[in-house]
Chain A
Amino acid sequence: KQEVTQIPAALSVPEGENLVLNCSFTDSAIYNLQWFRQDPGKGLTSLLLIQSSQREQTSGRLNASLDKSSGRSTLYIAASQPGDSATYLCAVEYGNKLVFGAGTILRVKS
């Protein structure tokens, strides 16, 4: 069964800290992996998409890595800000199916 797990389930950090969110997947035959951000009362916003042939993608203070062989991805957030507080979801694409993790709830304290 294709499963996606995110650790930790929740994280609280002081403003300015660098942090890492983890995503693991059981089936390494992926097409791509995406990281999403979800704000309360709003839909999901795609942050980064890593193709299966890529090792990492960067956007501003965000950097996502992919290691297919170990079934892992990390989302690195540099110099965290209170506005980064949200739920972060990892999703792995297998063919025509996207399998989501349960998400990490991030709170950045000012």
Chain B
Amino acid sequence: DADVTQTPRNRITKTGKRIMLECSQTKGHDRMYWYRQDPGLGLRLIYYSFDVKDINKGEISDGYSVSRQAQAKFSLSLESAIPNQTALYFCATSGAGTGANVLTFGAGSRLTVL
């Protein structure tokens, strides 16, 4: 089984629908992240969490919300999806402490908003 599992892997939805992307990890890591990837822009951080009671906005959090249900689970929600949220979304985890953070990524969730 993968260390970081994302569901769904692919989703097509319509404008205005609520969407949830889920992420679970077996690494035992405290830190979890949600990124989106767009062609030519690299990965951009949406939200991150350093433990169950900690939630922080990244550089592009507008239109998104997250929930850290447990150490191993971090979900990303789009309350009312819009077409420019069409992207590839990645969940990642890392151990605590800066300076030596090797991220472990999930396989990605491709979201298309029509």
Q: What residues make up the interface of A, taking CB atoms closer than 8 Å to B?
A: 4, 9, 31-32, 34, 41-46, 49, 51-52, 89, 91, 93, 95-98, 100-103
**Do residues B100 and A32 form an inter-chain contact, with CB atoms below 8 A?**
yes
Q: Which residue of A lies closest to B40 (CB)?
A: A102
Q: Is the interface of B mostly helix, strand, loop or mixed?
A: loop
Hey, which chain A residues are within 8 Å of B92, CB to CB? 43-44
Contact of A101 with B99 at beta-carbon distance under 8 Å, contacts A41-B107, A43-B105, A44-B105 already known: no
**Do residues A100 and B44 form an inter-chain contact, with CB atoms below 8 A?**
yes
Contact of A42 among B100, B104, B108 (CB under 8 A): B108
**Do residues B103 and A44 form an inter-chain contact, with CB atoms below 8 A?**
yes
Hey, which chain B residues are within 8 Å of A49, CB to CB? 100, 102
**Do residues A98 and B101 form an inter-chain contact, with CB atoms below 8 A?**
yes
Give the residues from 18 to 45 in chain B that come closer than 8 angstroms, CB to CB, to chain A: 35, 40-45
Q: How many A-B residue pairs have CB under 8 A?
A: 58
Bound complex: CA of A52 vs CA of B99, how far in Å?
8
Bound complex: CA of A4 vs CA of B42, how far in Å?
9
**Do residues A98 and B45 form an inter-chain contact, with CB atoms below 8 A?**
yes
Contact of A51 among B45, B100, B103 (CB under 8 A): B100
Q: Which residue of B lies closest to A93 (CB)?
A: B101
